Amino acid sequence: MIVSFNRVERLRESLAALCGADSGLQVIVVDNGSRDGAASLDDEFPGVRFSRLPRNFGLTRALNIGIRAANGDYILLLHDDVRIESAAVHALAEFLESHPDVGGVCPDLGGPQVRPLPTPANPDPPLQAATGGDEGDEIVAECVSGAAILVRASFLRSMGHIDERYGNYGSDIEICSLTRSSGRKLIVLRTVAASHGTVPSPMRESDIDADRAAGTIAFIGKHFGFGAGLMCRLKTSPLGGTKIDGAG
C-alpha cells in the first residue's frame, strides 16, 4: 500500500517495480490530493486500486484509509519514493510468516532507516543506517523508518486505526512502539533490498517542520504523560506545531 502526494514520476517507478508480471500482490494507492497528473496512472496500471482524496489529509489518515481497503494477511506500508520488486515483498512476507516473534520486517534501504524510539530526553533521534552482525544477518531495531515496513494486517486492525493525532509524522514511531510493547521484534532484513529516493518532499519545508513538531509532541504526551508532552511542546516549538491534516 502506497500513500502518494505530488510525486507522479516516483509513484510510476514504484508501481512499475511492484506490478511485474504475475506479482500476486494487491496494490493500493491512496493519493493524498495530488495535482501533478497522478490520475493518469489509472490507465497505465489497471490492476492497481486507486483511492483519490480531495486534498492532503496527511500520511496517517491516508494510511488508515488504505489499511481498511486491504484484504491480505500482510500489509506493506510504502512511501511513494521507494522502489521494491514484488519478489522482495514476497520474501519479506515469507520471513514474517516463519517468525511469529517478529512484528514488522523491513528491506534494507541502503541508508538511514533505524533509530531509538523517542523519549523526553531525546524526543527526535535521527535515523541511522542499519548496521550490526555479519553480512546477511537480521538486524533488530527499536524503531524503523515508515518508508517500507511489512506488518501483519491483524496487528494493524487490532489497533482500530493508527492514532490520527499524527499528521505526516508519527505513524511509523507509533507502530514501532506498539509492536515492541506487544513483545515482538522489528527486523531489517539485509538479504532483501529496496531503494529509497532522495527527491525533496513537494510540501513546504515550514509545513513539514511544524507537522514534525506536532507529531513529536503527540508521541511524547501519549506515551510519557501530559507533563512530558507539555515540556516537549515548550522545548520543541512555542506554538506547538501544526499537523498536516487537510484542514484550512
51-77 pLDDT, tens digit per residue, is 999 999 999 999 999 999 999 899 999
The bridge status of strand 138-141 relative to strand 185-193 is antiparallel
Helix (H) or strand (E) holding 188, with range, is strand 185-193
Residue 33 has pLDDT above 60, yes or no: yes
- Give 28's DSSP letter: E
70-119 pLDDT, tens digit per residue, is 998 999 999 999 999 999 999 999 999 999 999 999 999 999 999 999 99
Give the CATH class of 2-236.
alpha beta
Question: Cell numbers 508501481 label which residue?
Answer: 15
| Mean pLDDT (the chain, rounded) | 91
Lowest mean pLDDT among 17-21, 115-119, 122-126: 17-21
| Domain locations in the chain as residue ranges | 2-236
0.85 exceeded by pTM:
yes
